[in-house]
């Protein structure tokens, strides 16, 4: 199988990568583009650590072949803060101590931002549903939910 050229648009910047088509988007973004915020937890779509936005919708990028994301708008956790200013969700996570080891957090932030974009004032149940695809081994989720509620009230 020959390498192929793929055009990717990540956080507003355009990249061209020359690689094998059997690689997941997650690996290409981390290894070839050097954007290592997104993590691999399971590699099979269960944990959400690899969540990025594809045209604004959260997806598990360990299941997305690089070619499937060509010419679409990809947002990673690195693209959430603007001009060095944290997004209200990120600021609230810091303030509330909504993270421990941090491994799940890039995916969690991306899912939370997507949730508030669609539904700026979610109920607690809606928040929990919005992050149900992001597993966290550390926090027990309470602080995460509180942080998202706080961010929602400030946006």
Per CB under 6 A, residues contacting ligand FAD are 45-46
CB proximity list for 7: less than 8 A, separation 6 or greater: 14, 15, 16, 70, 71
The least CB distance from residue 26 to ligand FAD, in Å, is: 14
Q: Is 111 in the site for other proteins (CB under 8 A)?
A: yes
Partner from other proteins, ligand FAD, ligand FES, none contacting 19, C-beta within 5 to 8 A by type: none
DSSP-assigned letter for residue 62: G
Distance CA 129, CA 58 (A): 13
Question: What are the angstrom distances between the C-alpha of 96 and each of 55, 87, 121, 151?
Answer: 29, 14, 18, 10
Query: At closest approach, how far in Å is the CB of 105 from ligand FAD?
Result: 20
The residue from 64, 99, 113, 151 that contacts other proteins (CB under 8 A) is 64
45 contributes a contact to ligand FES by CB under 6 A: yes
Per CB under 8 A, does 37 bind other proteins?
A: no
Query: Binding to other proteins by residue 117, rule CB under 8 A?
Result: no
Cα–Cα distances (Å) from 2 to 6, 11, 119, 133, in that order, read 13, 28, 43, 34
Which residue, 46 or 95, is less far from other proteins as judged by CB? 46
If binding is defined by CB under 6 A, does position 100 make contact with ligand FES? Answer: yes
């Amino acid at each position: 199988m020959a390498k192929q050229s793929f055009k990717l648009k990540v956080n507003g910047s355009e990249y061209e990568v020359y690689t094998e088509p059997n690689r997941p988007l997650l690996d290409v973004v981390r290894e070839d583009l050097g954007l290592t915020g997104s993590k691999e937890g399971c590699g099979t779509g269960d944990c959400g650590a690899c969540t990025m936005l594809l045209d604004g919708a959260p997806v598990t990028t360990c299941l997305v072949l690089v070619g499937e994301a060509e010419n679409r708008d990809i947002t990673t956790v690195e693209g959430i803060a603007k001009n060095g200013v944290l997004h209200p969700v990120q600021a609230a996570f810091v303030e509330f101590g909504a993270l421990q080891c941090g491994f799940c957090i890039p995916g969690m932030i991306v899912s939370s931002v997507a949730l508030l974009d669609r539904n700026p004032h979610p109920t607690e149940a809606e928040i929990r549903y919005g992050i149900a695809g992001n597993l966290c081994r550390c926090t027990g989720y309470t602080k995460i939910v509180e942080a998202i509620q706080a961010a929602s009230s400030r946006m």
